[in-house]
Amino acid sequence: MRVGIAGGGVAGTMLAWRLLRSVPRIAVDLYTTRSADGDATSASGGLVRGFERTAPECLPAARSLAELRGDPALRTASDYREVGAVYLLPSGAEVTEPLRVLEEVLPGSATLLTGPELTGRYPFRGLPTGVTAVVERHAGYLSPAGLRAAVLGWLTDRGATVRRLPVTTVGPGPALRLADGTTAGYDAVVLAAGAWTPALLAASGLPTGGMRVKQIQYTVYEGRPARLGAFVWEDTGMWGRPAGDAGFLLGLPSDRWDVDPSCPRPDAALAERVAEEARRLLGHPPAAHCPHRTTASSDCYHDPPGLELREAGPGVFTFTGGSGGAAKTVVAASRVAAAALVR
């Protein structure tokens, strides 16, 4: 079986690694379609937790985290930091089934806190009445770029071919047409090019399947709120985590759609809104404090969201659409995608 994978992000590299580990006599060629500088893998905040709002979304996230914690090689390669996570929920949120999934996969990790318990333990302020939170001990953040770098080395050791050559289109066969004018045929091809996937599909005359490109952005500030690890506030979409020895990373969802992934540029208005929301919620950063740096990139969004293998044409598949959250599920999703591709 010969598989060609277009995309050198953490999704494509992890899928290639899974295939090589699970399938005898398989040949895998991985094409890094663009420079890694500024792609979603290198820019990702890397939050990992088990909790999601529905049980079907929770299961891959929890399984991914469980395997990450249980595999010393993955844990070291990804520079996983277990700082805990708090997911702030609006009044009346129903989380019985996700908590059941979490208890099955990560026993003893998750606790549901009431508003008073939450504000007594963490530095949140001004929360609406009725807010609750899922607090996870086994959660934190990792480096998708570090994991990618390690997996690229593992691929070479296992005999995969890694070519730093962009793919321009997908042809019948299926085949990948390359930037040097050559064509390589395969039994299956997978487009795992992240934010470049929709354009690659369109250039190949294939439907984009509900995929769009959206900007992702966060700002790292000096200083750190006391007693707080990673967090998400569902009402606003604000999220954050520790960064470095004494910094804190904060972000909000962007409203910039269909951006050019080759030239990300920070949205100054969004960065200011992040600072304002953070001051209301955490009292951090101080009003006069300047941010350390703002990072902008883009990712492939899919409706419904989720990193999974999707068929795009005869012998052609996509493995993207994590909608900015692929770091949470890539370990488990790559295993499921490899098995589906072989079937």
pLDDT of residue 288: 58
User: May I ask the CATH architecture of the domain 1-46+143-210+303-343?
Assistant: 3-Layer(bba) Sandwich (3.50)
Q: Which phi-psi region, left, alpha or beta, contains residue 140 (left: φ > 0; alpha: ψ -120 to 50)?
A: left
Q: What is the mean pLDDT of residues 44-66?
A: 96
pLDDT of residue 330: 97
Cα radius of gyration rounded to whole Å, the chain: 20
pLDDT of residue 245: 85
**Contact in structure between 192 and 277 (CB atoms under 8 Å):** no
Torsion angle (degrees, nearest 10) of CA 193, 194, 197, 198: -170
Q: What's the pLDDT tens digit per position in 75-84?
A: 999 999 999 9
SS3 string, 173-190, reads CCEEEECCCCEEECCEEE
Helix (H, G, I), strand (E, B) or coil at 93: coil
Q: Indicate the length of the chain as a whole number.
A: 343
Q: What's the pLDDT tens digit per position in 283-328?
A: 888 665 667 889 999 999 999 999 999 999 999 999 999 998 999 9
- CATH of 211-302, picked from 3.40.50.300, 3.30.9.10, 3.30.70.1230, 3.40.50.2300, is 3.30.9.10
**Contact in structure between 215 and 301 (CB atoms under 8 Å):** no
How far, in Å, CA of 254 to CA of 195, rounded?
15
CATH 3.30.9.10 boundaries in the chain: 211-302
Helix (H, G, I), strand (E, B) or coil at 266: coil
pLDDT of residue 335: 96
Residue 50 pLDDT > 90, yes or no? yes
Q: What's the pLDDT tens digit per position in 10-38?
A: 999 999 999 999 888 899 999 986 555 66
Tokens representing residue 194 in the block: 């992240």
pLDDT of residue 95: 96
Nearest to 200 by CA among 209, 213, 191, 210: 191
CATH 3.50.50.60 boundaries in the chain: 1-46+143-210+303-343
Report the mean per-residue pLDDT for the chain.
93
Q: Report the helix count and the strand count for the chain, using DSSP H and E.
A: 10, 19
pTM: 0.94
Q: How confident is the model at residue 176 (pLDDT cuts 50, 70, 90)?
A: very high
Lowest mean pLDDT segment, chosen from 28-42, 109-123, 128-142, 258-272: 28-42
φ and ψ at residue 192, rounded to 5 degrees: -125, 45
How far, in Å, CA of 115 to CA of 124, rounded?
10
pLDDT of residue 33: 66
Q: Where are the beta strands (DSSP E) in 7-157?
A: 27-31, 47-48, 85-89, 110-113, 132-136, 140-141
Tokens representing residue 193 in the block: 């090019």
pLDDT of residue 135: 98
Q: What is the mean pLDDT of residues 328-336?
A: 97
pLDDT of residue 35: 57
Q: What's the pLDDT tens digit per position in 220-266?
A: 998 888 899 999 999 999 999 999 888 999 999 999 999 999 888 99
Contacts of 277 (CB under 8 A, 6+ apart): 236, 238, 252
Helix (H, G, I), strand (E, B) or coil at 258: coil
Tokens representing residue 303 in the block: 């409706």
